[in-house]
A and B are shown apart, each in its own frame.
Chain A
Amino acid sequence: MTDHRIKKHPILPVPEREEIEFYWQGQPLKALKGETIAAALFANGIQVFGHHQKDGSPLGIFCANGQCSQCMVIADGRPLKSCMELVTEKMQVEPNDGNPVLPEVKSAPKLRPIPEIAIPVLIIGGGPAGLSAAIELGKLGVEVILVDDKHRLGGKLVLQTHRFFGSAEAVYAGTRGIDIATRLETEVKKLPSVQIWTQTTCLAVYSDKKVGVLLNGKKYVLVTPQVLLVATGAREKFLAFKGNTLPGVYGAGAFQTLVNRDLVRPAEKLFIIGGGNVGLIAGYHALQAGIGVVGLVEALPQCGGYKVHKDKLVRMGVPIYTSHTILSANGEEKVESVTIAQVDERFRPIPGTEQSFACDAVLVAVGLDPVNEFYQKALEFGVTAFVAGDAEEIAEASAAIFSGKIKGLEIALALGLPVAEVPAEWYQTGEILKSKPGNIFEEDLPDVESGVIPILHCNQEIPCNPCSALCPQGLIVVDKQDIRSIPRFVGNNYCCKACEKCVAGCPGLAITLVDYRTNPDKPIVSIPYEFSREMLNLSDRVTILDTEGTELGEAEVLNIHAFKGNDRTLVVQVEASREIASRIAGIKIQPVSITQPMRQYVDHVADDTIICRCEHVTAGEIRALIRQGYHDINEIKTVTRAAMGACGAKTCASLIRRLFAEEGVPANQVIDPYKRPIFIEVPLGVFAGESGEEEAE
Chain B
Amino acid sequence: MSVQKNYDILLIGAGSLGTPAAYYLAKSGLKVLVLESVPSVGQGSNKRAIGGIRATHSDPAKIRLCLRSIEIFSTFKKTFGDEIEWDQCGYTFVAYTSREEKILKDLLAVQKSYGLVNDWYDRDDLLKIVPDLTPEGLIGGTFSPGDGSASPLLSNHAYYTHALKAGAEFRFNEPVTAMTIKNGHIESVETCCGTYSAGVVVNTAGANAAEIGRMAGVHVPVKPDSHEAAITEPVARFLGPMIVDIRPAVGSSNYYFYQHLTGQIIFCITPNPNIWGTDVNETSSFLPMVAKRMIEIMPRLKNIRVRRTWRGLYPMTPDGFPILGWSPQVSNMLLGVGLCGQGFMLGPAMGELLTRLVNQDLLPDDAETLQFLSPERKFEGQELLK
Contacts and interface: CB of A to CB of B under 8 A. Distances in A.
A666 B300 CA distance: 48
Determine which residue in B281, B301, B305 has the highest number of CB atoms from chain A within 10 A of its CB, and name it: B305
Contact of A108 (B41, B263, B285, B295): B295
A671 B39 contact: yes
B40 A99 contact: no
Contacts of A105: 299-300, 302-303
A683 B303 contact: yes
Contact of B299 (A99, A107, A204, A689): A107
Given A671-B39, A676-B310, A683 B299 contact: no
A469 to B, nearest CB: 49
Interface in A79-112: 79, 98-109, 111
Contacts of B302: 105, 109, 683-685, 688, 690
B234 A688 contact: no
Interface string B266-308: 0000000000000101111101101110111001111111111
Contacts of A676: 282, 308-310
Contacts of A689: 288, 291-292
Contacts of A532: none
A106 B288 CA distance: 21
A296 to B, nearest CB: 37
Contacts of A210: 284
B255 to A, nearest CB: 13
B232 interface: yes
Interface string A665-696: 00000010000111001111111111000000
Given A53-B234, A687-B287, A207 B306 contact: no
Contacts of B296: 108, 111
Interface in A190-221: 204, 206-208, 210, 212, 220
A99 B236 contact: yes
A639 interface: yes
A206 B235 contact: no
A631 B39 contact: yes
Contacts of A101: 235-236, 238
Interface in B96-150: 132, 134
B282 A677 contact: yes
B42 interface: yes
A222 B300 contact: no
Determine which residue in A102, A220, A676 has the highest number of CB atoms from chain B within 10 A of its CB, and name it: A102
Contacts of B41: 635
B299 A684 contact: no
Interface string B253-270: 000000000010000000
Contacts of A631: 39
Contacts, number: 152
A344 interface: no
A684 B304 contact: yes
B157 interface: yes
A439 interface: no
Contact of A206 (B47, B154, B282, B290): B282
Contact of A678 (B47, B301, B309): B309
A646 B309 CA distance: 13
Contacts of A685: 291, 295, 301-303
Contact of A638 (B157, B295, B308): B157
A681 B134 contact: no
A379 to B, nearest CB: 13
Nearest to B301: A684
Nearest to B265: A684
B233 interface: yes
Given A100-B235, A639-B157, A684-B295, A678 B304 contact: no
Contacts of A568: none
A104 B233 CA distance: 17
Nearest to B47: A638
Nearest to B302: A685
A208 B291 contact: no
Contact of B39 (A632, A648, A683): A632
B43 A78 contact: no
B33 to A, nearest CB: 18
A639 B235 CA distance: 22
B153 interface: yes
A686 B291 CA distance: 8
Contact of B263 (A99, A637, A648, A682): A99
A69 to B, nearest CB: 9
Contact of B288 (A204, A220, A381, A646): A220
Q: What's the dominant secondary structure at chain A's contact region?
A: loop
Interface in A258-285: none
Contacts of B281: 206-207, 380-381
A438 to B, nearest CB: 42
Contacts of B305: 79, 681-684
A101 B233 CA distance: 11
A119 interface: no
Contacts of A102: 235-236, 238, 300-301, 303-304
A170 interface: no
Contacts of A683: 302-306
Interface in A638-676: 638-639, 646, 648, 671, 676
A566 B44 CA distance: 63
A213 to B, nearest CB: 11
A114 interface: yes
Interface in B189-240: 232-236, 238
Contacts of A222: 284
Contacts of B308: 648, 676-678
Contacts of B299: 105-109
Contacts of B306: 678, 681-684, 687
Nearest to B152: A638
Nearest to A669: B39
A99 B235 contact: yes
B309 A208 contact: no
Contacts of B304: 102, 683-684
Determine which residue in A111, A207, A637, A685 has the highest number of CB atoms from chain B within 10 A of its CB, and name it: A685
Contacts of A678: 287, 306-309
A109 B297 CA distance: 11
A671 B40 CA distance: 10
Contacts of A639: 154, 157
A381 B154 CA distance: 31
A104 B40 CA distance: 41
A634 interface: yes
A252 B233 CA distance: 27
Contacts of B42: 638
Contact of B295 (A106, A111, A212, A648): A111
Contacts of B154: 638-639
Nearest to B281: A207
A688 B284 CA distance: 12
Given A53-B234, A79-B233, A687 B291 contact: yes
Listed from nearest, the 7 A-B pairs whose CB atoms lie closest are A685-B302, A207-B281, A681-B305, A688-B291, A687-B291, A635-B40, A632-B39
27 contacts: A53-B234, A78-B303, A102-B235, A102-B236, A107-B299, A109-B295, A109-B299, A111-B295, A208-B284, A208-B285, A632-B39, A632-B43, A634-B40, A634-B47, A638-B47, A638-B154, A638-B157, A639-B157, A676-B309, A677-B308, A677-B309, A681-B306, A682-B306, A683-B304, A684-B302, A687-B306, A688-B294
Interface of A: 53, 78-79, 98-109, 111, 113-114, 204, 206-208, 210, 212, 220, 222, 380-381, 630-632, 634-635, 637-639, 646, 648, 671, 676-678, 681-690
Interface of B: 39-43, 47, 132, 134, 153-154, 156-157, 172, 232-236, 238, 263, 279, 281-285, 287-288, 290-292, 294-296, 299-310
Given A103-B303, A210-B284, A638-B47, 19 more contacts: A79-B233, A79-B305, A101-B236, A101-B238, A102-B236, A105-B303, A204-B284, A381-B281, A635-B40, A635-B157, A638-B156, A638-B157, A684-B301, A684-B304, A685-B291, A685-B302, A688-B288, A689-B288, A690-B302
